[in-house]
Structure 1
Amino acid sequence: MKLHSYDINKNYKTSVAYFSMEFAVDQALKIYSGGLGFLAGSHMRSAYDLKQNIVGIGILWSFGYYDQGRNEDRTLKPNYLRKFYYFLEELEQKVTVRIENSDVVIKAFLLHPEVFGTAPILLLSTDIDENDYLSRTITHKLYDSNERTRIAQEIVLGIGGLKVLEAMNRKVDVYHMNEGHSLPLVYELHSRLKDTQKVKEHVVFTTHTPEAAGNETHRVDFLEEMGFFSSLTKEEVASLCSCHKEKLNLTVEALRNSKRSNAVSKIHKKVAQHMWKEVPDSCEIISITNAQNKKYWTDKTLIRALDEHEDYELQARKKHLKKILFDEVANQSGKMFDPDIFTIVWARRFAEYKRPGLLKYDLRRFEKLLANTQMPVQIIWAGKPYPTDSGAVSLFNDLIYMSHRYKNIAVLIGYELSLSRLLKQGSDLWLNTPRITREASGTSGMSASMNGSIHFSIDDGWHPEFARDRRNAFTIPPVDHLLGHDEQDRIDNKNMMDILEQKILPTYYENPKKWTKIMKNAMTEIDLEFDSTRMAKEYYELLYEYKIEEGGKD
C-alpha cells in the first residue's frame, strides 16, 4: 500500500519511521497532551512540505489525554469522552503482540497526508472487538497512571508499530524514537538481527527533558514479565543493557542502542551530555533545536502586514486578534478584557518546575501591578496539569480562586491547539518561567513570537539561541541553579517584576513605535532558525543520514 500521496523529494529518500506517543496536528485529532505532541505535529507538517520519505507511528487514544471541564466552583474537572475520527482510514492489517503472556491484537488506522497537510501517520489501537476488555483499555488514555498499562502502551507503540510496518511491506531504513517510549522496538530488532551494531545502524533517538518523569525507570523483572523485551531471554537482555539486572532506564538504553541522538536545544545538549556522561557505550548526543511550523501557527493577515511594512495595519490586526481571544475570555469567565490594555499570557503544561505561579510569588507587589491604572495589565493563565498530579491541579485551582477576586485575571480551560493558537496570536507578552537548566526547549514561545507576542523568559531552553534583549525579546537574567528553590524563586521574581515594571510596560504604553519595532524584529528573526522546515532538514542531515563510522563523541 502506498502511504505517501506525494512524490518523495530525491534529497529525502531514506525511509524513516518516526515513533511518538503523541502527535498534535489538528484540534480535531485529540491524541496529544502538550509540547512533545506539538513538536511532533510541526515535524510531520514540515515533512509534508519538504516531501520527505517519513511515516509517523503513534497510538489512536480512544479517550485522548483528558478534556478540561469545571466543577460547580469553577475548579478543574478532568473529563474522559470517547472520541471518533471518521477522517481516518481503517486498514486491513492486524498484528499481534505478546503482553503479559497474552496475545493482543493491534489494528492500524491511517491519517492520509492531504487531510491536515502532514506526512502519513499510522495510529495503532487495541480497542477493537478481537481483544478482551483489559486489552482494549491499553489504548484508552494517553499516559495512563497505571504502570502496567503504561508499559503495555509502550510495547504496542514499539513492537506493534514495527510489526504493522512489516505487515504493510514498508521498508524502513531508520527508526526514530521521539523520547524513549518506543524502546521495545529496539529489542524486537535485536531478536531479529542478533547484532548490536546492525541494530544501532537503524535507530536514532531524541531526548526531550532532564526531568525524572520523562526518563522512565522500571524493574527489569517487571518489564520481562510484561513482554517489553520481545522474545529475548533474560540472559540476552542482561548482555544488552546496563541495568545490572535490577532496573532499566528507558533513556539510558535508548542512548546505548542508537547510532546517534539529539537534545532539543544547545543548552539541553550540554545538560544531557552531563546527565548521561556515565552511560556505557552511549551514542553521541548532538543538538537539533526544536521548532514550530510557521505556516500552521501564524495569522496570515498579520504576516502580510509585516511583509508590506505597514505598521498601522500590523497594530490594527494585533488588536483585532486580541478581541478574538477576549471573546473566549468572556465566554469562559464572564470578564470583558480591553484590547487596548497590555495582556500577559502564561500557557503551557502545568508542572512544578515550570513555575506557573512565579508571577504572584511576591503577592503584595503582584497586587500592586494589578491595581496600576496608569499602565494597566491583563493576565491569562492556561494549561493542562497531569490529571493525577495533585500538586499541579491544586496550583491550577489556586489561580482560579484568585481570579475570582480580580477583574483583570482569567484562567482558561481547554488548552489544546485551537486555544493555544488564540493565546499566541492575541497576547502581547508570552511569559516563560522555568527553573534554570530544567527547560530542555520550551517551544511555545516560538509560535508566540511568530505572531508578535514578545517572549519574556528565563534564559533557558531555546531562548538564548534567539533572544536579543529588548530588541526581539526580554530576558530574565540567570541565577545560580545550585541555589535552593525558594531563593531561586525570590530572585527570579524580583528580576522579572523589575523588568516588567521598569522596561516592558513603559515601552508598551509610552513608546508604541518601539514596541512595534520589537514585535517586527521578533516576527522576522524567529523565521531564521525556528521554523520547523529547518528542523526537519537537520533531522535528515544530522541523524537519519549519519553513518556511525563517520564520527565519534563530541
Structure 2
Amino acid sequence: MSFLPEPYQHPYKIDPKYKKSVVYFSSEFAIDQALKIYSGGLGFLAGSHMRSAYDLKQNLIGIGILWSYGYYAQARGEDRGMAVQKRRKIYHFLQDTGIKYSIKIHGADVWVKVMYLPADTFGSAPMFLLTTDIEENDYMSRTISHKLYDSDFLTRIAQYILLGVGGATLLEHLGVDPDVWHLNEAHALSAAFHVYDKTRSLEEVKKRFVFTTHTPVEAGNEKSSFDLLYKFTFFGNIPRDEAYQLSGVHGDEFSHSLAALRMSHKSNAVSKLHGEVARGMWQHAEGICEIDHVTNAQNKKYWVDEKLEAARLAGDLKALAARKRELKVRLFKEVADQTGRLMDPDVLTIVWARRFAGYKRADLITRDIEQFEALLRNADRPVQVIWAGKPFPKDFGAIDVFNKIFHITQKYASATILVGYELALSKLLKDGSDIWLNNPIVTREASGTSGMTAAMNGSVNVSTYDGWVCEFAKDGENSFIIPEASPTLSDDARDEHDRLGFYQLMETKVLPAYYSGGDDWWKIVHNSMNDVVPFFDSGRMADEYYTKVYK
C-alpha cells in the first residue's frame, strides 16, 4: 500500500518486493524534455530511476526543486559561439498542492510552496517540487529556487536548505515518515540534521538515511565553512558544538560528503570501479558508514528506438542498418538547421556529447589539428564528428573549450558542435551516431551513463577504460577501448597517449570494420545492443537499491 495520503497516492498497487517506503532527494531530475529541472548526468540518472520506480511499482517518491529558470537555455551568440539565456519556465501540467509553509534560512522565515507531478503524467514515481518563487517572499528569497546550481555560493547554501529542510518539512505536512531517506548526492544533507534536531538521536538518523556519492575525487566533494553554514541555519536548532561533533569537521572546513557518510547507515558509489576508488578515498575517515556500489543505469523503455529494438530481437542486421540510416538522416536535419551543414548518412559519424568539464576532455581528438583534419578528409574512409553539451555557465574554462571546438570546426563541412543539449537532442544524437566517444581521464568518471543509452540505440562506444565501461566492454566485440595510460605519466603525456590511442583504434579497428562492406560492423553493433541490456537498464538499478542499499 502507498505510504502517501490521498490525493497523492501511487496510481498502482505496490509490488510487495518494494513495499518499504522511500523518499528520494535530488537537486535535479530529467524526467521529460518538457520539465527543464535538470542539467546533465545526475538528472538523467535520477529521471531514469523515477521511471523505473514507476515501472516496477515501487513505494518511492521523489522530492526536488521547481527551478523557475531551469539550468539555462544554451544558444548561440552573435559570433555563433555559446551564449547563456535565462527564460522563465511555465508548467501547466504541474498541480498546486495548496501546501505552503515557512522554513528558516539565514535565521529568516522563507515561504515554500509545493507543486506535484502525478505519476501518470510522464510515467515516473510521484514527484513533489519545492519553490520559493512566490509572492509571500522578498526578492532575495524568491531567487533561491530560480536557477539550478546558482553560481553564487550563498544562494546554493540556501538551495541545499530548501531541498533538505524543505523536503523534510513537506513530509511532516503530509504526515509521513518514510522508512528510507535517500540522498542522491549530498545536496539535501540538511534533512539529516533536521531529523536529528527532531529526534536528538544519531542512531535514529542513521536508521533512515542512505547516501549515493557520484564524485570520485576527494577535492571534488563540496566543502563549506562550518561557521557560515551555522549562520545560515543549515543545522536548524542544533547547538553549535553538537552540530560540529556530528559533522566530523576539522577546523572550519565542512565536507558535505563526509557528513553524509557519517549520518547514513549505508552509502553507495555508482560503478564497481568507483566503489573501489571511493573506499580508498575515505578509508581514513572516522565514523563513516559502509560504501557499497550500485552501478548506474538508464531507463531503456524511455530511451530505446522501437524499430532498432525489434531488429535487435530478430537478429536482423539488415533491418538494423536500414533503421540506423533513417535515424542518422533525422539527426542530420537538426545539424543542418543549427549549422548549415548537410552531413552524409553513409559516412561513419562520431558523437561526443555530455557535460563539458575539464576531465572529460571534449577537445582531446582536436589537439593535433593535422591528425584531426586527416581523419575528416580521408577520401576512402571519411568521418563526421559532432559535439554537444552544456558547460556550467560560470565554468569559463569549459566554455572556452566549447568555443574552441566551434572555431576549429568552422572550416569543415563534416565536423560541428550543437547547442541545446537536453533530453530531446541527446536522444537524436544517440539514435543517429555510429560511435559514442567517451574519453575522460581514467578514474575521474564515477560512472557515466550516456554511453549506455547510445549502445541501446546501435551506437558503439569508443572509450577510455573508466566508470561503467569497465563492467560492459569487450574490446573489439561490443566496443573499442583506448589502451590505458601508465599512471606515472605527466598530465600532458597521458593526454597524448590517449589521443594517439584513439587514432590508432580508428585506423586499425573502427574504420576497417565500418567500411568492410560486410556484416563486421553490424555484428559489433548487435553485440553492443545485446550486452547493454538488461544490466544497464535502470530496472536492475532500481531493484538493487531495494535489495542492497535500502535494507
Q: Does TM-score exceed 0.5, indicating one fold?
A: yes
CA distance in 1, matches of 2:320, 2:509: 22
Counterpart position of 1:440: 446
Letter of the aligned partner of 1:140 in structure 2?
H
1:203 maps to 2:209: yes
* Structure-1 residue corresponding to 2:3: none
Deviation at 1:170, TM superposition (A): 2.5
CA deviations over 1:395-444 (Å, ceiling 9, x no partner): 10011111211110110000000000000010000000100110000110
Q: Is the 8 A contact 2:30 2:423 kept in 1?
A: yes
Scaled by the length of structure 2, what TM-score is found?
A: 0.98
Deviations along 1:319-354, whole A, 9 cap, x unmatched?
Answer: 000000000000000000000000000000000000
Matched, 1:252 2:258: yes
Taking the TM superposition and a 5 Å limit, the aligned residue runs for 1:493-532 are 493-532=499-538
Matching of residue 107 in structure 1 with residue 105 in structure 2:
no
Offset of residue 134 of structure 1: 0.6
Aligned partner (choices 170, 173, 181) of residue 167 of structure 1: 173
Match status 1:463 vs 2:476: no
Give the aligned partner of residue 384 of structure 2. Answer: 378
Distance 1:185 1:212 in 2: 23
What does the per-residue CA deviation read over 1:113-151, in whole Å, with 9 as the maximum and x for residues that have no partner?
111000011000000111111100000000001111000
Q: How does 1:533-552 map to 2 (within 5 A)?
A: 533-545=539-551
> 2:324 maps to which residue?
318
Q: Supply the distance in 1 between the matched residues of 2:26 and 2:473 (Cα, whole angstroms).
A: 29
Q: Distance in 2 between matches of 1:535 and 1:59?
A: 24
Matches within 5 A, 1:86-485: 86-211=92-217, 214-485=220-491
Q: Does the Cα contact within 8 Å between 1:437 and 1:481 map onto a contact in 2?
A: no
Could you tell me how far 1:480 is from its partner in structure 2? 2.4
| Contact kept? 2:211, 2:260, Cα under 8 Å | yes
For 1:312 and 1:122, locate their aligned partners in 2 and report how far apart those are by CA, in whole Å: 45
Residues paired across the two proteins, number: 545
- Aligned residue for 2:101, secondary structure, equals strand
Give the structure-1-normalised TM-score.
0.97
SS in 2 for 1:11: helix
- Write the letter of the residue equivalent to 1:471: E
Q: Which moved more, 1:95-104 or 1:147-156?
A: 95-104
Distance 1:496 1:428 in 2: 15
1:23–1:11 distance in 2 versus 1, CA, 3 Å: same
Question: For residues 347 and 303 of structure 2, what CA distance do their matches in structure 1 show?
Answer: 24
Report SS of the residue matched to 1:32: coil
The one-character-per-residue Cα deviations of 1:243-286 (angstroms, maximum 9, x if unpaired) are: 13411000000001100000000000011111111111110100
Alignment RMSD (CA, Å) = 1.0
Query: How far 1:364 moved relative to its partner?
Result: 1.5
TM superposition shift of 1:512: 3.7
Partner of 1:26: 32
Letter of the structure 2 residue corresponding to residue 33 of structure 1 = S
Q: Deviations over 1:156-183 (max 9, x none)?
A: 0000001111101133111000001001
2: CA distance between counterparts of 1:94 and 1:484? 55
1:3 Cα shift? 3.0
Given that 1:3 and 1:112 are in contact with CA atoms closer than 8 Å, whether structure 2 keeps it comes out as no
Following the alignment from structure 1 to structure 2, what is the Cα–Cα distance between the partners of residues 62 and 126?
A: 9
Native 8 Å contact 1:60 1:123 kept in 2: yes
| Mapped contact 2:218–2:281 kept (Cα < 8 A) | no
Q: Is the contact made by 2:25 and 2:163 (CA closer than 8 Å) also made in structure 1?
A: yes
Distance 2:487 2:261 in 1: 26
- Does the 8 Å contact 1:238/1:245 carry over to 2? no
Letter of the aligned partner of 1:349 in structure 2? R
Identity %, equivalent residues: 51
Conserved 8 A contact 2:327-2:431? yes
- Separation of aligned partners in 2, 1:213 and 1:92: 41
- Report the secondary structure of 2:249's partner residue: coil
How much has 1:213 moved relative to structure 2? Answer: 7.1
Residue pair 1:361, 1:489 contacting (<8 A) in 2 also? no
Structure 1 residue ranges without an equivalent (≥5): 546-554
Give the match's secondary structure for 1:528: coil
CA contact (8 A) 2:315 2:526 kept: no
**Residue 537 and residue 507 in structure 1: after superposition, are their counterparts in 2 closer, same or farther (change >3 A)?**
same
What is aligned with 1:38? 44
Deviation at 1:195, TM superposition (A): 1.1
Give distance in 2, aligned partners of 1:58 and 1:321.
34
Matches of 2:159 and 2:219, distance apart in 1: 16
- The whole-number CA distance in structure 1 between the counterparts of 2:504 and 2:316 is 32
Q: Which residue of 2 aligns with 1:71?
A: 77
Q: Is the 8 A contact 2:299 2:537 kept in 1?
A: yes
